A and B are shown apart, each in its own frame.
Chain A
Amino acid sequence: MSRREDDLEKEVRFHLEQHIADLIAQGHDPAEARRLARIELGGEEQVKEACREVRSTRWLEDFSRDVRYALRTLRQKPGFAAVALMTLALGTGATTAMFTLIDGVLLRPFPYRDPHRLVLLREKTDWATAFGDLWSFSYPNYLDCKREVRALDLTAWTVMRGTISAPGAAAYANGVAVSAELFPMLGVKLALGRAFLPAEDRSGAAPVAILSFETWQRHFGGDAAAIGAPFVFDGRTYTVVGVTPAGFRFDDDEPALYTPIGQADSRRMQNREGHGFQVWARLRAGATIEQARTELAVVGKRLAEQYPKSNHGRTFIAEPLRPDVGDARETLWLLLGAVGLVLLIACTNVASLLLARAVSRERELAMRVALGASRSRLVRQCLTESAVLAIGGGIAGALLAWAVVRPFVTFWPGGLPRAEQVHLDWRVMLFALALSLASGLLFGIAPALRAPSRELEPALRAASRSVAGGSRRLHGIFVASEIALAVVLLVSAGMLARTMLRLSSLDPGVNIHNVLTARTALSPATLANPDRTRAAWDDLLDRARRVPGVEAIAMVDTVPMREGSNQIGYALSAAPVPEDKQPMVLANSVTPDYLKVTGIPLRSGRFLNEQDRKGTQSVAVIDEVMAREAFPGEDPVGKHIWIGIGQDPVTVVGVLGHVRQWGLAGDDQSKVRAQLYYPFAQVPDELVRRWSTLMSIAVRTSGDPLLLVEPLRREIRGATGDQVLYEVRTLEQLAQSSLARQRFLLLLFGAFAGLALLLACVGIYGVLA
């Protein structure tokens, strides 16, 4: 007992003894004196309780006593404690895990210096194409904004792709061309070397590069002598000046290298219509984003008047720079919702367990009221018990979350964006704590309010009682809501399963068995002129055909069911149609064997052949969807379509079956489904270089296609050893992964529904038993 309690005891005792002594002195006999003194004081225990009640530190003492008491009662009923704790651990664990993901992926800003003052700039038109009305910048527009907007410090960057051919083994890589000011603006501290100098950020300057930490490790073995060493990317030799810190991510990607943007292809940089530059900016000290927007609007208006051809109806907008996580947002919130239902079931469950226990403890509580405990005191004690339970469950849940978050991130189909930001920290712990306290309150309130107030007699008299009357009704509500919640999850899982079954039985439109696809990078040296490039492709295909097991090989620019598409507008007459009014089609440049490789059925006419070459009539083959859209009720073979203004018409020579280009799940919902195939041989000379960086190969094999990956790599490497295959996938894998998100959701919802059902069963059993 505490000293405070001791003192209270002593004080009251002293009072009684003095009083009794006085009464005896007045002539009462001792027994009578004792009785009178007690009556006048009015109940020793009640007085003490009233004194405890007024102390300011009272709640703390009560709290620690309640906690100890709660722990003791939990220990007395280990079965109850275990079931309740496990239920809560599952509920809070799943919710905390999901919140960890949401926190990392959706709530955290970019890990750059002062991320809240970073701004993303885009061009916006008052008309829209199939891609919307937002555009990336053209470089001249960027330069004008940079010069004239006072509220912002602007920087630009653009992605480059190419082959790293020296030092070390050749590898295909992404790079980023950046303004010299970009790294200082983001507050990036290089692990080695220095940032770009302004003098290096203009055309004609000596080529320099900053490598990513991983590139430095892979191609230089982490040697500090890399600074100043030569580095060959996309056929150009750069001098390495710096290395980014390990784990540094740029726009949620890991580019292999950075170069100064001012050194990039100057023709594109002078073209006001050439978009493809990202503009990131930082608000200057004291400036607001509204000021920036006003200034950008002024610049946009002036440029629209000055350059009507490129800038008519075009202005510039600014918004806070935030990571782009695509459709992970919806999936995550959806899963949080599902997990929330599980938590709700868990809470209901524990509430009903506690209620059952409260009923059996009615006599104990009534006894305590008789001994002077106030009702609020008992409610507080009941809530403390649930809080102890909840926090125990919360701790177990946090451990559970800690254990499952990593595997979860790993299994996220297609890789979870910003996965490196996902970790348990104080924010998550705070969430888990708040969550468990809230759920403790939620499941503790109903049993706590049952604490008896006045009508003690019936409670004291009843020797033992089962769940009766009001409690029974409450229990019924609990069980009913548990079952309802579980049914919601079960129905969701069932619907997902049905969708999944339907989707996986869909015909992708191609024969997906025994087909290997891979993006292919030619030796950078062969890209110098179109004829050399075409010859290099012919050579590459010939080499691949020699590999035993290859039945047919073709080039293709957009492989079915893989990410990436080439959507273009077309017209059915030579008269120019505004860009935003043109119907869209998925264009795919291929070589004649593509039909043999993929097994797409030919509906009418012919497929492309070796005679469709540069200089002969431009031809194309369309799919049945485009046939329906462009030539309803007519035979498309022999008809013309126009692609690009001022170009010669293209003759349709055949119709193919539709291919689910967007994946088994996505194709039906996609906006553009029409397809068009045209010969790679007829790609105009000026586009061959660009096209060649995008092409893939598709190979039909006689056996397991994955066995041919290494032989093909060896054969394709070429005389210079720098031709590489990357993103190697079989069509089967692509078809599978096009359903990965659905499968993943199904799996999780199934698991949640199973869990919910299990919890509901435990709950029902708890009531009936």
Chain B
Amino acid sequence: MRPKSDLPQGTLDLLILKIVALGPVHGYAITQRLQQVSRDVVQVPQGSLYPALHRLESRGLLAADWKETETGREAKFYRLTRKGRAQLESETASWQRLASAVGLILRLSEEGE
């Protein structure tokens, strides 16, 4: 098992937005999804997930409704607002720019050796 790495600052919001963009989902499912998708590489402390959700909600990027789960229990389902979708797009774009820039730099230094 590879070592787990911490999330870079600010990326948690982006990941949450991305997961919520796939369809309404509750907090616990988000933690599960994060672990699955990242193949356990990304470790999200559950304690910081909920404050992040609430912060995104109060900024108007997420909206929430109480709905029944498949098991018949009431849970708080988050979904993306229009503002949230715009935010997701712009952040994704800038993340990709940054990632490719970092990748370029890393390749450069390898060639230099």
Contacts and interface: CB of A to CB of B under 8 A. Distances in A.
Answer yes or no: do A and B interact: yes
B74 A10 contact: yes
Contacts of B45: 42
A55 B58 contact: yes
B58 A42 contact: no
A50 interface: yes
A19 interface: yes
Interface string B19-32: 00000001110010
Interface string B45-83: 111101100110011000000100000011110000000
Contacts of A11: 27, 50, 75-76
A40 B28 contact: no
B46 A42 contact: yes
A182 B81 CA distance: 66
A11 B75 CA distance: 7
Contacts of B55: 54
B46 A41 contact: yes
Interface in A312-371: none
A306 interface: no
Contacts of B47: 41-43, 46-47, 50
Contacts of A19: 28
Contacts of B27: 11, 14-15
Interface in A1-48: 7, 10-12, 14-15, 17-19, 40-43, 46-47
Nearest to B46: A41
A513 to B, nearest CB: 83
Contacts, number: 53
A53 interface: yes
A6 to B, nearest CB: 11
Nearest to B29: A18
A535 interface: no
Contact of A51 (B46, B54, B66, B75): B54
Contacts of A43: 47
A56 interface: yes
A466 to B, nearest CB: 39
Nearest to B47: A42
Interface residues on B, range: 10 to 19
Nearest to A53: B51
B75 A14 contact: yes
Nearest to B75: A14
Nearest to A14: B75
Contacts of B58: 54-57
A54 B51 contact: yes
Contact of A10 (B28, B46, B59, B76): B76
Interface in B10-26: 26
Nearest to A51: B54
B92 to A, nearest CB: 23
Contact of B28 (A14, A46, A53): A14
User: Which one of A46, A54, A56 has the greatest number of beta carbons of chain B within 10 Å?
Assistant: A54
A7 B76 contact: yes
Contact of B51 (A14, A51, A57): A51
Contact of A15 (B46, B48, B54, B74): B46
B54 A55 contact: yes
A527 to B, nearest CB: 86
Given A42-B45, A42-B46, A55-B58, A47 B51 contact: yes
A12 B76 CA distance: 10
Nearest to A49: B51
Contacts of B75: 11, 14
A40 B73 CA distance: 22
A40 B32 CA distance: 13
A50 B54 CA distance: 9
Contacts of A47: 46-47, 50-51
Given A11-B27, A47-B51, A54-B54, A40 B46 contact: yes
Interface string B68-108: 00000111100000000000000000000000000000000
B10 to A, nearest CB: 15
Contacts of A53: 51
B51 A15 contact: no
B51 A50 contact: yes
Contacts of A7: 66, 76
Contacts of A55: 54, 58
B46 A14 contact: no
Contacts of B73: 14, 17
B47 to A, nearest CB: 3
A265 B74 CA distance: 97
A57 to B, nearest CB: 8
Interface in A103-145: none
A18 B70 CA distance: 12
A53 B50 CA distance: 11
Q: Which of B27, B50, B55, B66 has the most CB of A within 10 A?
A: B50
A54 B51 CA distance: 7
A14 B26 contact: yes
A17 B28 CA distance: 10
Contacts of B51: 47, 50-51, 53-54
Contacts of B50: 11-12, 15, 47, 50-51
Q: 5 closest A-B pairs (Cβ-Cβ)?
A: A42-B47, A50-B51, A54-B55, A18-B28, A51-B54
22 contacts: A7-B66, A10-B74, A10-B76, A11-B27, A12-B50, A14-B76, A15-B28, A15-B31, A15-B46, A15-B50, A17-B73, A18-B28, A41-B46, A42-B45, A42-B47, A47-B46, A50-B47, A50-B48, A50-B51, A51-B50, A51-B54, A57-B58
Given A41-B46, A56-B58, 14 more contacts: A7-B66, A10-B76, A11-B76, A14-B26, A14-B28, A14-B76, A15-B50, A19-B28, A43-B47, A47-B46, A47-B50, A47-B51, A53-B51, A56-B59
Interface of B: 26-28, 31, 45-48, 50-51, 54-55, 58-59, 66, 73-76
Interface of A: 7, 10-12, 14-15, 17-19, 40-43, 46-47, 50-51, 53-57
